[in-house]
Structure 1
Amino acid sequence: MTDQYFLLVCDDVPHDVVLTDPGIRVLDVAQVVRRLTGLSLWRSKVLATHVPAMILDGVPEEDAEAAVTALRAVGAQAEARQQPEPDFLKS
């Protein structure tokens, strides 16, 4: 018997939010990361200072764009990246 894989077509492809540069207001960025992730302030600061850092993983595009906007509002550089296609789907 062979394995078969099916690709489900949906409206929303998962996105990742990646922090590329915290800027000069690291504590403000850490507070936004804390609000987005639910981590402690200390862990959020560690995450914000070790860039590039994935802040959110596999969220809908609207949530990813809202998170990027919140991070950019406090002076950080962030981007929403579409998750890559799984290897077994590539021909």
Structure 2
Amino acid sequence: MGMADDYFLLVCDDVPHDVVLTDPGIRVLDVAQVVRRLTGLSLWRSKVLATQVPALILDGVHRADAGAAATNLRAAGALAQVRAQPEPDFLKP
């Protein structure tokens, strides 16, 4: 059996997490500025993203980074959630 026939599973301490904006609140421009800092998008695109909820702001980041991002969004007046990404199908029994 060659190396190409072997499958390896890397076990990580931290599964990828997503940051989801569920409500921009009343301070949409403040939230859009936070989205801009987190994503690198233009302010206009950040505002559009912030108003189309639920919006995936960050995809597949470490839990600590996701928590910090959600805290920043909440500080700006938004409602945001940190969600663990689902386990891939090939890992399910």
Structure 2 distance, partners of 1:62, 1:17, is 11
Counterparts in 2 of 1:10-89, with a 5 A limit? Answer: 10-89=12-91
C-alpha RMSD over aligned residues: 1.6
Unaligned runs of 5+ in 2: none
Q: How big is the shift at 1:24?
A: 0.4
Q: Give a deviation string over 1:10-65, Cα, whole Å, max 9, x none.
A: 11211000000000000000000000000000000000000000000000011000
Code of the residue aligned with 2:46 in structure 1: it is S
Query: Which of 73-82 and 6-15 deviates more?
Result: 6-15
Percent of residue pairs identical = 83
Structure 2 distance, partners of 1:56, 1:46, is 15
Structure 2 distance, partners of 1:24, 1:80, is 21
Q: TM-score, normalised by structure 2?
A: 0.91
SS state of the match for residue 32, structure 1? Answer: helix
Code of the residue aligned with 1:34 in structure 2: it is R
Structure 1 distance, partners of 2:6, 2:63, is 28
Unaligned runs of 5+ in 1: none
Q: TM-score, normalised by structure 1?
A: 0.93
Q: How big is the shift at 1:6?
A: 3.3
